[in-house]
With several copies, the nearest count.
Chain A
């Protein structure tokens, strides 16, 4: 049989957008430098040429303004996909997303819908310093009315983005900016991936590593290191923080009895806290050790490389924590 086709993470995103824009003329893209430039990360290159300036629109540097515009556009027949260049800039859109987009359907008693998608980025180690390196997805995960997606592979990125665009609700889609060049198999055939379904990226027996987005590769790397020590690690990716596939996470924990949760957001009051709590409660009687949480160090991300590199979990740090959790030393 033929080699499965490989695409980069960026190509997978672009293909999902292009397919959905062909399928549904109401899908349009709004953001800064999304048209001619195709974004600074070149993720959208070519879409302007295919779909034209009516459907791929460069905006002023007005994150609140064009996000708010997208909310209204979504309520009135369009399916806008807004591009927030760096996840750090969602700070400017919180009122539009949280007080407006997330609540319109509920406040109107179910009368108005907001089928919009916000695409943005997360992740550090790009030497971009404190205002261009945050992973703030925990905030949106906290808000009823929003759905939050964290793809970790090209395959997931494409399938989840198509689902996001077809969803009737506001969806926030976080892309790891360091992952755009990562390659992975993506079939030619049409497919979508449902929200709220975790994926076991690597099956194992001795310990569960729950990993999101940028941390999946780190977890898989750690799992390989653990293998050398005869520790069989299961790596599971919830893929969406809301809806959250609690059942799959708890079952994996019940099976292995040891759990590490790794996410690139800040460790405190972040995504790892919710997932760890769900598991600690759901697998209370099966856990042999406390659930360990690993996230970004509780500091603004520094610019200096030797400092920045200490702020995020790595294959080795996850490996070490896992070894210890499994009683090796």
Chain B
């Protein structure tokens, strides 16, 4: 696996500002998700939501290297991807509450946030449901020669869906600028991935000729460094890549998944939180390298907190769509 340590040259290229920005992004995502959990427990949010807490370094590390007009597709666990690509928390919360001000005017909800302004082709509630869409966006980028790259985020559970292999084959045959970012957080819902996944995950990419790498998904600098190489490669027309990001979700499969003992131990959860937390790892590095002082990080944290709190308030106060809107947007 690639770790930042192994590639100082990557670090040398990146500026302190980048890591401060990454810190801010990861903190915002975490605070956002904590609020989502809170909205659920306070019965203010309809339905369920899948929290990204613990996996922040993957979305942030990858999106940090993308252009605003690059494309991403996301999953049922998509809040982190959307925020990392530039979505604003207030309209995200509004969508989660089914409000008119939401990114999808309330029609999509937590699993369908989409936003052309930030190149977000949409979160998707079908496992592997967006792999075709991401590959198609890369196809457009190649046909239109606009230099864009598409990143397809998906969980390791999506490795069970055959369509993933169909599109990886197409992407490699046609040298499409698409990165398949596999977030292995160890579980498909309530089942450990080892019970559902034969062979080596990285071999799933190489089997179709894709340039394939694995990275520590808790180390935002490592993710960024690796993603940067793969994205630049794709932009140069050298073809798609498969990037395995090893990570972990701290919470349940969704906000309602409270008692998890039957499928994983508290001890396992504790270890990841204590030893592999992406925000903590970046903080320690930033302070250890004396690149920032605690005061700055505290200020960023409190700024983020007030932004998120304001966003929640905005969403709660926002109006629902007019009933007539139910018939709108079926056809363009």
Q: Give per-residue flags for B307-332: 1 if the beta carbon is below 8 A from chain A beta carbons, else 0.
A: 00000000000001101011111111
* CB–CB B122/A104 < 8 A: yes
Alpha-carbon separation in the docked complex, A76 to B188 (Å): 30
**Residue among B137, B163, B331 with most chain A CB within 10 A:** B331
- In whole Å, how far is B160's beta carbon from the nearest beta carbon of chain A? 3
Indicate which residue in B136, B321, B331 contacts A71 across the interface (CB closer than 8 Å).
B136
* CB–CB B332/A307 < 8 A: no
Interface residues of A, dominant DSSP = loop
Alpha-carbon separation in the docked complex, A322 to B156 (Å): 51
A54 within 8 A of B: yes
Q: Which of B126-165 contact A (CB under 8 A)?
A: 126-141, 143-144, 150, 157-163
Alpha-carbon separation in the docked complex, A129 to B107 (Å): 7
B16 within 8 A of A: no
Alpha-carbon separation in the docked complex, A92 to B162 (Å): 10
Indicate which residue in B109, B122, B130 contacts A303 across the interface (CB closer than 8 Å).
B109
Indicate which residue in B143, B160, B162 contacts A54 across the interface (CB closer than 8 Å).
B143
A59 within 8 A of B: yes
Indicate which residue in B125, B129, B136, B157 contacts A75 across the interface (CB closer than 8 Å).
B136
* CB–CB A109/B104 < 8 A: yes
Name the segment of B21-29, B58-66, B189-197 touching the other chain: B189-197
A194 within 8 A of B: no
* CB–CB B132/A100 < 8 A: yes
Q: Give per-residue flags for A85-127: 1 if the beta carbon is below 8 A from chain B beta carbons, else 0.
A: 0001100100110011000111111111101000000000011
Indicate which residue in B47, B103, B131, B141 contacts A76 across the interface (CB closer than 8 Å).
B141
A290 within 8 A of B: no
Cβ–Cβ < 8 Å partners of A76 in chain B: 71, 121, 136-137, 140-141
* CB–CB B332/A65 < 8 A: no
* CB–CB A66/B170 < 8 A: yes
Cβ–Cβ < 8 Å partners of A37 in chain B: 189-191, 262-263
A4 within 8 A of B: no
* CB–CB B107/A307 < 8 A: yes
* CB–CB A72/B136 < 8 A: yes
Q: Which of B41-95 contact A (CB under 8 A)?
A: 46-48, 71, 73
Whether A307 contacts B325 in the complex (CB less than 8 A), given A36-B263, A60-B160, A126-B47, comes out as yes
Q: Give per-residue flags for A66-83: 1 if the beta carbon is below 8 A from chain B beta carbons, else 0.
A: 111111111111101000
Name the segment of B112-120, B226-234, B265-273, B298-306 touching the other chain: B112-120
* CB–CB B108/A109 < 8 A: yes
Whether A112 contacts B126 in the complex (CB less than 8 A), given A61-B157, A107-B104, A304-B320, comes out as no
- In whole Å, how far is A60's beta carbon from the nearest beta carbon of chain B? 3
Q: Which residue of B lies closest to A70 (CB)?
A: B136
* CB–CB B104/A108 < 8 A: yes
- What's the tally of chain B residues with a CB closer than 8 Å to chain A? 77
B202 within 8 A of A: no
* CB–CB B116/A111 < 8 A: yes
B205 within 8 A of A: no
* CB–CB B166/A110 < 8 A: no
B111 within 8 A of A: yes
Name the segment of A172-180, A249-257, A293-301 touching the other chain: A293-301
* CB–CB B167/A77 < 8 A: no
Whether A40 contacts B98 in the complex (CB less than 8 A), given A65-B166, A77-B144, A299-B327, comes out as no
B3 within 8 A of A: no
Whether A32 contacts B46 in the complex (CB less than 8 A), given A65-B132, A107-B112, A113-B332, comes out as no
A2 within 8 A of B: no
A145 within 8 A of B: yes
**Residue among B99, B128, B174, B329 with most chain A CB within 10 A:** B329
Alpha-carbon separation in the docked complex, A298 to B330 (Å): 8
**Residue among A58, A61, A100, A130 with most chain B CB within 10 A:** A61
Cβ–Cβ < 8 Å partners of A126 in chain B: 47
Cβ–Cβ < 8 Å partners of A187 in chain B: none
* CB–CB B323/A307 < 8 A: yes
* CB–CB B189/A60 < 8 A: no
How many chain A residues sit at the interface, stated as a range, is 35 or more
Cβ–Cβ < 8 Å partners of B137 in chain A: 72-73, 75-76
Indicate which residue in A33, A64, A100, A129 contacts B166 across the interface (CB closer than 8 Å).
A64
B102 within 8 A of A: yes
Alpha-carbon separation in the docked complex, A184 to B116 (Å): 44
Alpha-carbon separation in the docked complex, A28 to B98 (Å): 37
A151 within 8 A of B: no
Alpha-carbon separation in the docked complex, A32 to B174 (Å): 15
Indicate which residue in B105, B110, B133 contacts A68 across the interface (CB closer than 8 Å).
B133
Alpha-carbon separation in the docked complex, A108 to B104 (Å): 5
B169 within 8 A of A: yes
Cβ–Cβ < 8 Å partners of A302 in chain B: 106-107, 326
Alpha-carbon separation in the docked complex, A100 to B122 (Å): 10
Cβ–Cβ < 8 Å partners of B143 in chain A: 28, 54, 73, 78
Q: Which residue of A lies closest to B45 (CB)?
A: A127
* CB–CB B121/A75 < 8 A: yes
* CB–CB B114/A111 < 8 A: yes
- In whole Å, how far is B187's beta carbon from the nearest beta carbon of chain A? 10
B203 within 8 A of A: no
* CB–CB A132/B106 < 8 A: no
Alpha-carbon separation in the docked complex, A88 to B124 (Å): 13
* CB–CB B111/A129 < 8 A: yes
Alpha-carbon separation in the docked complex, A57 to B175 (Å): 14
Q: Give per-residue flags for A301-312: 1 if the beta carbon is below 8 A from chain B beta carbons, else 0.
A: 011111100110
List the 5 shortest-distance A-B pairs measured between CB atoms, nearest first: A68-B132, A72-B136, A65-B166, A303-B109, A127-B47
Ordered by A's residue number, 27 sampled pairs between the chains whose C-beta atoms are within 8 Å are A36-B263, A58-B195, A59-B196, A60-B169, A60-B197, A61-B158, A61-B188, A65-B163, A66-B170, A68-B132, A71-B132, A71-B136, A72-B135, A72-B137, A75-B133, A111-B114, A128-B47, A128-B48, A129-B108, A130-B108, A131-B124, A131-B125, A147-B331, A304-B46, A304-B107, A305-B320, A306-B320
